[in-house]
Amino acid sequence: MNLTYLIKRPIITEKSLQLASSHRYTFEVDPQASKFQIKAAVAKIFKVDVLSVHTINITGKTQRKRGRRGFYQTPNWKKAIIQLPKHQTIDLFETEEQKQEKTKDKKAKAQRGLKTKEQKNIETQKPAAAVAQKDQETQKVEAGVKTARPKTESLKDRLTQRIRRTTSK
């Protein structure tokens, strides 16, 4: 069985987000998957180390059909709770508070003069791109081609123009 098909979807509820704060993540998995297969799949897909895997078989609920007589049952499924080490996380389960904390940390590092990997990459790419853009602009000027200015019309302006066109007809 292909490992990428074992994990069907992450389960994102209030309870699962609380568990995520303690580095436990919940997923819906294939009902025939074993704990070892789930561990290997999570490690491969999210590139993390898995400490433990707990699985729960959940039986489907019996529900009434609307407008008809009879009942039907929702399908059975399997839930896996994965425990990760403290220094590793899965980004799918981040809450807004955690994202804000990360941005605050990045801003604090920037204020202290420490550069993140992204900033270093941008600085190395920026001069080459700027030089190439200037070369293109000088070639256009030498050829006598006028550079077009980008349109900065607002949505309100465009709508008023459209109304004027329809009313003038």
- Residues 6 or more apart in contact with residue 104 via CB below 8 angstroms: none
Rounded Cα gap, residues 74 and 80, in angstroms: 19
pLDDT tens for each residue of the chain, 169 residues long: 688 889 999 998 999 989 988 999 999 999 999 999 999 999 999 999 999 999 999 999 998 888 778 888 999 999 999 999 999 988 887 767 777 777 887 777 777 765 556 666 666 665 555 556 666 666 665 666 555 555 556 656 666 676 666 666 5
CB 61 within 8 A of CB 74: yes
pTM flag (> 0.75): no
Rounded Cα gap, residues 26 and 83, in angstroms: 9
Rounded Cα gap, residues 133 and 122, in angstroms: 16
Residue 69 is classified by DSSP as S
Rounded Cα gap, residues 56 and 116, in angstroms: 41
Handedness of CA 135, 139, 142, 147 (dihedral sign): negative
Q: Which amino acid is at 53?
A: V
- Residues 6 or more apart in contact with residue 100 via CB below 8 angstroms: none
CB 50 within 8 A of CB 78: no
Domains of the chain with CATH codes: 3-88 (3.30.70.330)
